[in-house]
């Protein structure tokens, strides 16, 4: 749980840092981010001597889908949505990711959703909406926000099966490397996004995204995903707007809104509710757990 909370908080803080990249080509920034992140993680794997099993063709297809949706298309969708919609609207839609994961995973596993997890996810998403606030958006922005939501859910759902073969470090290395190659190719193919050298401020922002919001955050998130499963890990996505709001307020020295404080509390309640089923399962006798598995 600590890994999930820390990982998603680092990603949320990166949202505030990304304000320094509004004038820098988005494809370039993300390509550099993932390339540096992959390089750092690979260096860690060499030092630690960590080796993973080889992936089969189906796993490579799943990895490609993970990189294309959760890392490449997600960033493009967010940028497109922000062109005609306010950040609060985009953040609120993407903040529904805990609910999406809580509903999609049971469908894929052909079972019923867990009531406590869905309820906790709904509260977490509601708290995220309160933190984000409200704004205006046209139909195009809402469509792109929906695409970003789909990609955010896919980032967690597609990663879970890969963690049966790969370690969190190995998955993060491969996902970042694939995303970097795709984004670099897209940047070179786009005439308006030719390779541009970032200035000092942009370089620091990209550096933070590469080290904290990618290399560290991805390993922490995948580590939690391997231990908690996608449904419970997805609950922590509600902390991303909370972290972004807190870091943004600290950077700008702006006072926190009442909605931010209330939303943070609601998100915390949602996490406690959704994770409570896990604690109750641990406390129950083995026979009761077995009966629950047979019956459910």
**Cα–Cα nearest to 152, from 190, 107, 96:** 96
Mean pLDDT, range 1-9, rounded to an integer? 89
pLDDT in tens, 121-169: 999 888 888 887 776 778 888 899 899 899 989 999 999 999 999 999 9
What pLDDT score does 278 carry? Answer: 55
Cα 224 to the chain's mean position, in Å? 12
| Sequence-ordered list of residues with C-beta below 8 angstroms from that of 246, at least 6 positions apart, any chain | 256, 260
| Residue 280 in tokens | 């109750």
DSSP letters, 122-153, are: HHHHHHHHHHH----B-HHHHHHHHHHHHHHH
DSSP letters, 113-128, are: PPHHHHHHHHHHHHHH
pLDDT in tens, 46-70: 998 888 888 889 999 999 999 999 8
Mean pLDDT, range 10-33, rounded to an integer? 82
Residues 134, 263 contacting (CB under 8 angstroms): no
pLDDT category, 251, cuts 50, 70, 90? low
**Cα–Cα nearest to 179, from 67, 39, 76:** 67
pLDDT in tens, 100-124: 999 999 998 889 988 899 999 999 8
**Cα–Cα nearest to 233, from 247, 246, 244, 218:** 218
CB atoms within 10 A of CB 43: 12
Residues 114, 99 contacting (CB under 8 angstroms): no
* Higher local confidence (pLDDT), 26 or 160: 160
- How far apart, in whole angstroms, are the C-alpha atoms of residue 212 and residue 134? 28
pLDDT category, 194, cuts 50, 70, 90? low
Least confident piece of the model among 168-172, 185-189, 203-207: 185-189
What pLDDT score does 180 carry? Answer: 94
pLDDT in tens, 174-185: 999 999 999 988
- How far apart, in whole angstroms, are the C-alpha atoms of residue 284 and residue 261? 35
What pLDDT score does 26 carry? Answer: 83
| Residue 242 in tokens | 């909370």
Average pLDDT, the chain: 83
Helix (H, G, I), strand (E, B) or coil at 23: coil
* Higher local confidence (pLDDT), 233 or 238: 233
The secondary structure of residue 18, as a DSSP letter, is G
**Cα–Cα nearest to 30, from 79, 87, 72:** 72
Q: Residue 237: pLDDT above 90?
A: no
pTM: 0.82
Mean pLDDT, range 222-241, rounded to an integer? 89
pLDDT in tens, 254-288: 677 788 888 889 988 998 998 885 554 444 443 34
What pLDDT score does 216 carry? Answer: 95
| Sequence-ordered list of residues with C-beta below 8 angstroms from that of 107, at least 6 positions apart, any chain | none
Q: Residue 197: pLDDT above 90?
A: no
What pLDDT score does 95 carry? Answer: 82
Residues 204, 212 contacting (CB under 8 angstroms): no
The CA distances from residue 130 to 36, 111, 267, in Å, are: 34, 31, 9
Q: Residue 34: pLDDT above 90?
A: yes
């Amino acid at each position: 749980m600590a890994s999930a909370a820390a990982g998603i908080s680092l990603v949320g803080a990166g949202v505030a840092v990304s304000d320094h990249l509004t004038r820098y080509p988005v494809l370039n920034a993300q390509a550099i981010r993932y390339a540096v992140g992959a390089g750092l993680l690979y260096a860690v794997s060499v030092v630690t001597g960590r080796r993973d099993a080889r992936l089969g063709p189906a796993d490579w297809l799943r990895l490609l889908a993970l990189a294309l949706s959760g890392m490449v298309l997600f960033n493009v969708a967010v940028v497109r949505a922000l062109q005609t919609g306010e950040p609060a609207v985009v953040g609120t839609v993407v903040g529904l990711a805990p609910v999406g994961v809580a509903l999609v995973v049971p469908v894929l596993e052909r079972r019923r959703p867990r009531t406590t997890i869905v309820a906790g996810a709904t509260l977490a998403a509601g708290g995220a909406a309160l933190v984000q606030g409200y704004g205006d958006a046209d139909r195009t922005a809402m469509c792109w926000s929906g695409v970003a939501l789909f990609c955010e859910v896919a980032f967690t759902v597609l990663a879970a099966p890969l963690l049966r073969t790969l370690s969190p470090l190995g998955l993060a290395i491969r996902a970042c490397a694939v995303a970097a190659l795709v984004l670099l190719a897209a940047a070179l193919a786009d005439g308006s996004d030719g390779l541009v050298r970032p200035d000092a401020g942009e370089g620091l922002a990209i550096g933070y995204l590469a080290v904290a919001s990618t290399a560290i955050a991805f390993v922490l998130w995948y580590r939690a995903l391997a231990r908690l499963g996608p449904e419970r890990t997805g609950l922590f996505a509600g902390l991303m707007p909370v972290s972004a709001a807190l870091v943004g307020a600290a950077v700008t020295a702006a006072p926190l809104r009442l909605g931010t404080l209330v939303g943070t509390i609601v998100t915390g309640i949602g996490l406690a509710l959704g994770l409570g089923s896990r604690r109750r399962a641990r406390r129950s006798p083995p026979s009761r757990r077995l009966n629950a598995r047979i019956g459910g």
